[in-house]
Structure 1
Amino acid sequence: MLKRFAYSQKIATYVFVLPFVLVFAVFWVYPMFSSIGMSFQKTMLGQEAQFIGTANYERLAADGIFLKAVTNSVVYMLLTLVILIPFPLLIAVWINHRLMIGREFFKSALFFPALTSVVVAGTIFRLMFGEMETSLVNTLLGWFGIEPVKFLKGQVTGFIALLSLAAWRWTGVNMLYFLAGLKNIPDEYYEAAEIDGASSWQKLIRITLPLLKPITIYVITISIYGGLAMFIESMMLWNGNNSPKNIGLTIVGYLYRQGIERNDLGYAAAVGIVLLAIAMIINLTQLTWSGMFRRGGLKDA
């Protein structure tokens, strides 16, 4: 009986799936439901929790700083999509070309920033975009006769610094995703297109992009989450969680401010639940729009 149990293929399936289920339940499902319950409470460390209904959410709706954080996170997420989808794709196509020389060098060079600590990277970019004339970016601007810019004290210029950091760190990662997808496209498709007289642009539009659709949707999905969950980059760039006029404040940064800095755990939990709802709504919308939820959508992609 024991031997039959040990060698059962049906049981083996559940055994292999069990570790993922346990990790998912302990580190995602349980914290999520605990946070939902906490968001309806007034909870502080060292004090007894009190049920206050929807007061935290009503407070959020009237909280201008929270709305500023949401706006910053959504704008940052959208701008990273504009930068970190098309450019890594084009770089991947360029590196994957059969006439490309030094392919491995460029792949390594572009991926290297992802291995750098975000704390170190944020500190370096803070110095690069400093307001002094001797900072790297202002020195470069000075060569063109442009006056020094206080990048980290303006909304637009602050986002330029943030997006520069994001592009530097994540371009290589997304490029590798697209390269993996390009390796799965048979060369016969391109050879047949060349025989028919297709140009490089036509091959990109008619062959590469349609067959890369599953990879593109995956990269978009993780980029949406990464954009909305961004926090450490902003904190290191402004050397703390208090940027001028909250120009660098994100949803996660506001959660940290309320939960850790001000010990208002119930309100912070409500911020986290709203962040989860925003991320799910945006991702489910783009997955539905892309056709991934249609029957056989993944196969059609």
Structure 2
Amino acid sequence: MKRIKSIKEKKKDSLYGYAFISPFFILFSIFGLFPIIFSFYLSFQRWNGLGEMEFVGLRNFELVLADPFFWKAMYNTFVIALMSTLPQLIIAFLLAFALNSTYVKMKGFFRVSFFLPNVTSIVAVAVVFGTLFTNSSTGLVNSFIGLFGFEPVNWGTSEWGVKWAISAMIFWRWVGYNTIIYLAGLQSISQDLYEAAKIDGASVRQQIMHITIPMMKPVIIFTVFISTIGSLQLFTEPLVFIGTTLREEGVTVVLYLYREAFSNNAFGTASATAVILFFVIIVMSVTNLLIANRLGNSRKKVS
């Protein structure tokens, strides 16, 4: 009897546990899993959002891949990602290293200051940067570069002006977030390793190369993954900066998807674009992982 009671109690505890975690899985199924599955299904259909769906096979993918505007959006996405992500991660690591040193005072103030842009509204950030990077010669950025003898730049219409403005916006907003993550990783490294290295006569550079970076490898891989995925899904910043006209100088893949769905009412090609972007993100993530593992293995061989 006692054994039967204990089994019933265990089942009851399990049911209570599943009941407590069920809201997450229910909401995820409705707002996460179902849209993903429906997007894959819709990518093989022709649908304007209201009428009957028509199965067209791979036709939507053919239309997207044959569209020069899609490849322009893909080019813009990768260029902006490279211009904003790589400098952002490097500067974030240097800032975290400085904050982790014993020479910097008021660390709490600097941590809050660096992280503050991340909690600021994206739309507000985009509006402010749109004002800073205005095409007028009296704009703040144009006035600054004018001090060095450069001509005013049409930040909202020129090919590289748009990319630099959007990249600066992304850099400013996310560098503090990655700084805090790197700082947490640096603080988890035991100081005994650095003290032992100092006793052995290791320089600061050697300590960074052989202690800091290897110990920070999981954190670095995480930030690279998150930054890569985020940069390939840029939407709000370029949308607010270039406006609803969607000029080709700043259109990203997600903006192209948005145009197909809500301007052209072509939900099939929009879903096909989403599927293509999904596989691009997978390829980029796997590539980052392989590069990180190869660098880690080569460093082990050298050491």
Common topology (TM > 0.5)? yes
Q: Which residue of 2 aligns with 1:287?
A: 289
Instruction: Decide whether aligned partners of structure 1 residues 161 and 213 sit closer, same or farther in structure 2, where only a CA change above 3 A counts.
Output: same
- Given residue 41 of structure 1, which amino acid in structure 2 is its aligned partner? Q
Whole-Å separation in 2 of the counterparts to 1:205 and 1:16 = 46
2:277 maps to 1:275: yes
User: Could you say if the C-alpha distance between residues 202 and 258 of structure 1 is closer, same or farther in structure 2, counting changes exceeding 3 Å?
Assistant: same
Determine the structure 1 residue equivalent to 2:300: none
Any stretches of 5+ residues in structure 1 without a counterpart? Answer: 295-301
Match of 2:11 in 1: 5
Q: What residue in structure 2 maps to residue 167 of structure 1?
A: 171
Matches within 5 A, 1:140-289: 140-243=144-247, 246-289=248-291
8 Å CA contact retained: 1:241, 1:257: no
Letter aligned with residue 284 of structure 2: I
Look up the match of 1:86.
90
145 and 77 in structure 1: CA distance in 2 versus 1, 3 angstrom threshold: closer
The corresponding residue for 1:116 is 120
How far off its partner does 1:20 sit? 4.8
Aligned to 2:54: 50
- Which residue is equivalent to 1:27? 31
User: 1:62 maps to what in 2?
Assistant: 66
Moved over 6 A (4+): none
TM-superposed CA distance for 1:146, in Å, is 2.0
Q: Partners in 2 of 1:285 and 1:12 — Cα distance?
A: 42
Q: TM-score if structure 2 supplies the norm length?
A: 0.89
Whether the aligned pair in 2 keeps the contact of 1:36 and 1:273 (CA below 8 Å) is: yes
Kindly state the Cα deviation for residue 26 of structure 1 after the two structures are TM-superposed.
Answer: 3.2
How far, CA to CA, are the matches of 1:84 and 1:142 in structure 2? 26
TM-superposed deviation, 1:7: 3.9
1:14-45 Cα deviation digits (max 9, x unpaired): 66765554444333332212111111111112
Task: Name the amino acid aligned to 2:82.
Answer: L
Secondary structure of the equivalent of 2:219? helix
Please state whether the residue corresponding to 2:50 is helix, strand or coil. Answer: coil
Whether contact under 8 Å (2:185, 2:219) holds in the other structure is yes
Question: How far 1:110 sits from its partner (Å)?
Answer: 1.2
1:178 and 1:288 map into 2 onto residues whose CA distance is: 21
* 1:243-271 CA-partner distances (Å, limit 9, x unpaired): 2xx01000100011010122111111111
Residues 85 and 171, structure 2, Cα contact 8 Å, conserved in 1: no
CA deviations over 1:165-188 (Å, ceiling 9, x no partner): 011100000001101111110011
Q: Alpha-carbon deviations, 1:182-222, whole Å to 9, x = none?
A: 11100111111111122211111111111000010000001
Length, aligned pairs only: 289
Offset, 1:240? 2.5
Aligned to 2:137, the other structure's residue is in SS state: coil
User: Cα gap change, 1:144/1:78 in structure 2, threshold over 3 Å: closer, same or farther?
Assistant: closer
SS in 2 for 1:291: helix
In the aligned structure 2, how far is the partner of 1:64 from the partner of 1:214?
38
Do the aligned residues in 2 keep the contact of 1:92 with 1:178 (CA within 8 Å)?
yes
Contact 1:241 1:253 in 2 (8 A): no
